[in-house]
Structure 1
Amino acid sequence: MSSLQFLSQRVSFPKVEAPGPSTEQLVKLFEAAGRAPDHMQLKPWRFMVIQGEARAEFGKLMVRAKEATAEIDETKRARLYNNAFRAPTIIIAITVFKPHEKVPEVEQVLSTGAAVQNMLLAAEMMGLGGMWRTGNMMFEPTMREGLAVADNETIAGAIYLGTPVGKRKSIKALDLDKFVSYWRG
């Protein structure tokens, strides 16, 4: 498959299992992230890897973060906790805002997104499945505190990685007429 075919067929894998990425594969993922578009080479991101027993603590943190904003029943509590075990490896992507006169914060957020996309592409190239998940809980003070997210940072999301389960889902091609126009001045 050509690189262009690969890009046009990339999909998220919501269901993954062990094994997750090896140490060597993680290094490759982070190297790929480092090649994202990055105005002035600020590297406005950092990544936190959650694996093994740390997932249990992350599950507890997700429950605490939700409970800080809403009452939840035991079923919801268990579901939130178990979300930490959706994948053998979770990578929390964090935008680190770095003041710069030529690089507004929005560019730094976009650069983090590009870094995450590079990681997802690299993961799939290595035969791994990945899913980028966010949600309001990622922006809650309890979550930020639990993950030691500084005041000049924001969580871009959680990347769940492992061995894909099931068949690759088929996604309909984009109707380019709906998304592309040509400006004529």
Structure 2
Amino acid sequence: MDAIQVLTGRVSVAQLTGPDISPEEEQLLFKAALRAPDHAWLRPSRYLTVRGAAREELGRIFLESAPDSASLSDDKKEKLLNMPMRAPLIVVAICSVQEHPKVPRDEQLLSTGAGVQNLLNAAWALGLGAIWRTGDVSTNPLVAKALGLAENEVIVGFVYVGRISGEARQPPEMVISDFVTDWTAKSL
């Protein structure tokens, strides 16, 4: 697929299925992710892959880490347990924030976010579906601890990757002028 088609046509795909992502496809996803802008070559991004039975364990972590997990409705418990089962591959995008005089925390987080976007675009180019999810589980310190994150690490999101089940929705047409305007400097 042409690069411009990928960039202008990619959509998030929530309905994902197997077969599993091949090792070659996975390598390409991470090769793209690691090309994100990275001021001072800090390499703030790292990724955990979760597949197979490990997805069930991740679901248990989501449930056990939920505030008041014991008092949740059965439906909510089931939803948390099944969240990781929605795709054959889950990628946990992590930013290892470092103290640096020229690269602030936000820039490091944006670098990891750019890596996630590259991964999403690479998945689309390979004919795969993917969706970037955040929510309570991505900011929950108990989830971070269970995944082995260090104190300086932040979950930027969970990327669900798989084969597209059904048809991917068409991206809406965007009117560029609704989002882009010229700025002209005014003399003081």
- The normalised TM-score by structure 1 is 0.95
* CA root-mean-square deviation: 1.4
Q: Distance in 2 between matches of 1:95 and 1:29?
A: 17
Which residue type is aligned with residue 147 of structure 1?
L
State whether residues 130 and 159 of structure 2, in contact with CA within 8 Å, keep that contact through their aligned partners in structure 1: yes
Please give the residue correspondences for 1:24-63 in structure 2 after superposition, counting only pairs within 5 Å. Answer: 24-63=24-63
Any idea what SS the aligned residue of 1:91 has? strand
Q: Distance in 2 between matches of 1:162 and 1:2?
A: 21
Any idea what SS the aligned residue of 2:85 has? coil
Which residue type is aligned with residue 80 of structure 1?
L
- Deviation, structure 1 residue 68: 4.7
Aligned length, in residue pairs: 185
State whether residues 56 and 84 of structure 1, in contact with CA within 8 Å, keep that contact through their aligned partners in structure 2: yes
Any idea what SS the aligned residue of 1:106 has? helix
Stretches of structure 2 that go unaligned for 5 or more consecutive residues are none
How far does the alpha carbon of each residue in 1:106-159 deviate from its partner, in whole angstroms, 9 at most, with x for none? Answer: 110110010011111111111111010000221112111111111111000100
Which residue number in structure 2 is paired with residue 157 of structure 1?
157
Which residue type is aligned with residue 30 of structure 2?
F
How far does the alpha carbon of each residue in 1:49-93 deviate from its partner, in whole angstroms, 9 at most, with x for none? Answer: 000110110010011121457831111101110111000100000
Stretches of structure 1 that go unaligned for 5 or more consecutive residues are none
Identical aligned pairs, as a percentage?
A: 39
Q: Distance in 1 between matches of 2:114 and 2:174?
A: 20
State whether residues 63 and 69 of structure 2, in contact with CA within 8 Å, keep that contact through their aligned partners in structure 1: no
Which residue number in structure 1 is paired with residue 167 of structure 2?
167
Which residue type is aligned with residue 154 of structure 2?
T
Which residue number in structure 2 is paired with residue 102 of structure 1?
102
Which residue number in structure 2 is paired with residue 176 of structure 1?
176
Q: Distance in 1 between matches of 2:16 and 2:122?
A: 16
Any idea what SS the aligned residue of 2:90 has? strand
Please give the residue correspondences for 1:5-24 in structure 2 after superposition, counting only pairs within 5 Å. Answer: 5-24=5-24
State whether residues 10 and 171 of structure 2, in contact with CA within 8 Å, keep that contact through their aligned partners in structure 1: no
Q: Distance in 1 between matches of 2:175 and 2:23?
A: 39
- Deviation, structure 1 residue 183: 1.0
- Deviation, structure 1 residue 20: 2.7
Q: Distance in 2 between matches of 1:3 and 1:118?
A: 12
- Deviation, structure 1 residue 167: 1.0
Which residue number in structure 2 is paired with residue 80 of structure 1?
80
